[in-house]
Amino acid sequence: MRRVVREILDSDTADELARRQTGADRQRADGQLDVNSAWTSARKSAAFRPALAALKRMAGDAERCMYCLDSHGTDVEHFWPKTPYPERMFAWTNLLLGCAECGRLKGDRFPLESGAPLLVDPSAEDPWEHLDFDSDTGNLMARVDAASGAPSRKGAATVSLLQLDAREALSNVYKRSFRRLHAEVDSALDAARGIDAQSVAALLDRLQAADDHGLLAWCFSERGARHPTFDRLRRELPDAWAAGVARFASTAA
């Protein structure tokens, strides 16, 4: 999972979403709101296309699911599910791009704690504040706080809800993605006789192109530095490590 930068909608599209929400709120107050009908009508309208296009750009060239980063993002996902929370149905900040598998697992389930979501919102926060990666299994798991030894409650809820530690196909592609990354680093280390700024930039570009699953933020963190390959990079090519931290590192310490 990686942080998604939310685009600002053009005024016409933003106004259309606001108009749809106002209409839905009015129907709800009158007891006449059919959530699925209201959403289907909006989703099929030409006025909604710029919002969908923005979500696809936010998801990257491969238009991957914003939760698992593996499967293709097939449709619009409501972070706060639209049926229990119709007041957020057309809120731009509530719309993500999701895959069929994550959508099936999530459904209308939405764990809260003191009214706040326990599911990670990749468009509003750094997922690596709550998640960790096991490079041996390819699983995502809850991040454990170094001081307290307690796992992140938000991370644990997200992993449980989306089964990020129990989807074998997902774990396999995360492992392959990580192998590509450390193979690039191993190759650079084995070839290095000193490394200039141009070579550092070229290495980081290759890593970015190989990172299908948002793992570089983990790799260039204190957690990733415990892996032998990235520890070696940190020790032997400190300039390359520092440049990678500056470019990729998570905001989570």
For residue range 89-123, what is the model confidence (pLDDT) as tens digits? 999 999 999 999 999 999 999 999 999 999 999 99
Angle between helices 35-44 and 11-29 (to 10 degrees): 160
What length is written for the chain? 253
Angle between helices 168-191 and 228-236 (to 10 degrees): 30
What pLDDT is stored for residue 193 in this prediction? 65
Residues 78-89 have a mean pLDDT of: 98
Whether the model pTM is above 0.85: yes
Q: Which helix (H) or strand (E) holds 96?
A: strand 95-98
Residue 18 has pLDDT above 70, yes or no: yes
**Residue, of 136 and 146, whose pLDDT is higher:** 136
Q: Which helix (H) or strand (E) holds 132?
A: strand 131-133
Distance from C-alpha of 178 to C-alpha of 220, rounded to nearest angstrom: 12
What pLDDT is stored for residue 235 in this prediction? 94
Residues 12-37 have a mean pLDDT of: 98
For residue range 199-234, what is the model confidence (pLDDT) as tens digits? 899 999 999 999 999 999 999 999 999 999 999 999
Q: DSSP 3-state assignment of 41?
A: helix
Going from the C-alpha of 26 to that of each of 19, 20, 50, 78, the distances in angstroms are 11, 10, 25, 20
157 pLDDT band, cuts 50/70/90, is very high
Residue 253 has pLDDT above 90, yes or no: no
Radius of gyration, alpha carbons of the chain: 20
Residues 145-149 have a mean pLDDT of: 86
Residue 251 has pLDDT above 80, yes or no: no
Task: Give helix then strand counts, H and E, for the chain.
Answer: 10, 6
What burial class does residue 129 get, using C-beta atoms within 10 Å of its C-beta: 0-12 exposed, 13-18 middle, 19+ buried?
Answer: middle
Distance from C-alpha of 209 to C-alpha of 180, rounded to nearest angstrom: 10
The pLDDT mean for the chain works out to 94
Q: Which range (125-134, 142-151, 157-166, 176-185) has the least confidence?
A: 142-151
Q: Measured at the alpha carbon of residue 187, what is the angle toward residues 183 and 193, in degrees to the nearest 5?
A: 155
What pLDDT is stored for residue 196 in this prediction? 79
Q: Contact, 2 vs 214, CB < 8 A?
A: yes
Q: Contact, 118 vs 112, CB < 8 A?
A: yes
What pLDDT is stored for residue 41 in this prediction? 97
What pLDDT is stored for residue 26 in this prediction? 98
Query: What percent of the chain shows pLDDT beyond 70?
Result: 98
